[in-house]
Chain A
Amino acid sequence: GAGVSQSPSNKVTEKGKDVELRCDPISGHTALYWYRQSLGQGLEFLIYFQGNSAPDKSGLPSDRFSAERTGGSVSTLTIQRTQQEDSAVYLCASSSGQGAMGEKLFFGSGTQLSVL
């Protein structure tokens, strides 16, 4: 596609429910990133994919968080048993993955998650 697409744009859920957030990267981009943006907390790294594998999952806050990527394209971030502290904007970004030093990230518009 023309840009990084994320869905839904907004998600309101009840505490304890599971949610799935979707990211559709730019076609041909092999690198995909998930970040979380909380008020006053900046951008918190969650996970990075190169193709379908995730070399770095170090940012996932707990085992309630998981992510997968299939076909080297679409990625899904799943949060199980949501808690109020999970409320944030979840951002997805992609890049060509060619390893160039100045390679830039292209960001989606994010999913605003609100846990009541």
Chain B
Amino acid sequence: GDSVTQMEGPVTLSEEAFLTINCTYTATGYPSLFWYVQYPGEGLQLLLKATKADDKGSNKGFEATYRKETTSFHLEKGSVQVSDSAVYFCALRGSGGYQKVTFGTGTKLQVIP
């Protein structure tokens, strides 16, 4: 079945540091890929997405590129801020009519001033 593997946290960075959170997936066909974010005390919300190979999703300075050859969708940001402290979840939606969305285990990011 479909699965998502993401790097374990917590990740602690200083403000303005470069961020990478690794995500790889296993799925048949051509899934859609997502990053969701859960800020402290808030519900999960979509951060960015990509629906086909080589697509780049971007939002709020975060980027991730759909790499089919490496089955990866790594999240990056060039300069993190304290306000980026949150838990980040990589997810995939299977292709075809079936719409189950599978999530990774989440990576907690803490940015310190």
Contacts and interface: CB of A to CB of B under 8 A. Distances in A.
Interface of A: 31, 33, 35, 40-43, 45, 48, 50, 55-56, 91, 93, 95, 97, 99, 101-105, 107-110
Q: How large is the interface on B (under 10, 10 to 19, 20 to 34, 35 or more residues)?
A: 20 to 34
B43 interface: yes
Interface of B: 32, 34, 36, 43-46, 49-52, 89, 93, 95, 97-106
Contacts of A97: 99
Given A91-B44, A101-B51, A109-B43, A50 B103 contact: no
A42 to B, nearest CB: 3
Contacts of A95: 99
Contacts of A55: 98
A48 B99 CA distance: 8
Contact of A103 (B43, B93, B103, B106): B93
A100 B52 CA distance: 12
Contact of B95 (A41, A42, A101, A109): A101
A81 to B, nearest CB: 27
Nearest to B31: A101
B36 to A, nearest CB: 8
Contacts of B105: 40-43
A111 to B, nearest CB: 12
A101 B93 contact: yes
Contact of A42 (B49, B100, B104): B104
Given A45-B103, A99-B99, A105 B89 contact: no
Q: Which 8 A-B pairs have the closest CB atoms?
A: A42-B105, A43-B103, A101-B51, A107-B44, A104-B46, A101-B32, A102-B51, A42-B106
